[in-house]
Chains A and B, each alone.
Chain A
């Protein structure tokens, strides 16, 4: 078990471009969460999946954001038509019920929109 992994670790893009991030959770974890974290703030919940079903979405998740978790394994988070305000660290976490929903975080993907 190598923990939660995220790719890429860093992404620089120009405003208006689309970007996609990937998260690979711990293999036996059925829940997967996405968060956004800006400098000096705590993680803000975006969305979560239980297996392949997307069960909750924050109102922070505008229609330019979409997340998928095909087959209940890895997940992708896509941001379309990026804006400078999207610059942040995007965190992924996974958990499972038998663990009391304790979350294990990945290292994050840092997005910079120029």
Chain B
């Protein structure tokens, strides 16, 4: 079956540090991959996505590359800010968008 495994948190970084949050997946066929972010007190927002192997999704300085050979979609940012403090969810869907599977989320706190 389909599933997503995310790096456990919480993660605490100093401002301007490099961020990596690991995500690996198990899926049949060719899923689409997503990172969602949930800021305190708010709903989930799409951060970035990739729909096929070797695609790189990027937004707000965050990047993730769809690696089929390692079944991974790790989230990276070169220099985090305090405003990036949130919970990050990796997710996948089948290519028809019939079902979505989310990881357990990784809480990130950035300290000044």
Partners in one complex: yes
* A10-18, A64-72, A80-88, A105-113 - interface stretch: A105-113
Interface of B is mostly: strand
Contact, CB under 8 Å: B97 / A95: yes
List residues of chain B with CB within 8 A of the CB of A95.
97
Tell me, rounded to whole Å, the shortest Cβ–Cβ distance linking B42 to chain A: 7
Contact, CB under 8 Å: A100 / B43: no
List residues of chain A with CB within 8 A of the CB of B105.
40-42
Tell me, rounded to whole Å, the shortest Cβ–Cβ distance linking B11 to chain A: 15
- Say yes or no for B89: interface residue by CB 8 A criterion: yes
> Complex formed: what's the CA distance from A43 to B99 in Å?
12
Contact, CB under 8 Å: A48 / B98: yes
Contact, CB under 8 Å: B42 / A102: no
Number of interface residues of B (CB under 8 A): 25
> Complex formed: what's the CA distance from A95 to B100 in Å?
12
Contact, CB under 8 Å: B98 / A105: no
> Complex formed: what's the CA distance from A103 to B100 in Å?
9
> Complex formed: what's the CA distance from A104 to B44 in Å?
8
Contact, CB under 8 Å: A42 / B49: no
Which residues of A are interface residues toward B (Cβ below 8 A)? 4, 31, 33, 40-45, 48, 55-56, 91, 93, 95, 97, 100-108
Top 6 nearest A-B pairs (CB, nearest first) are A101-B97, A42-B102, A105-B44, A105-B43, A107-B43, A43-B102
Known A33-B100, A91-B43; further 4 A-B contacts with Cβ < 8 A:
A48-B99, A56-B99, A101-B32, A101-B93
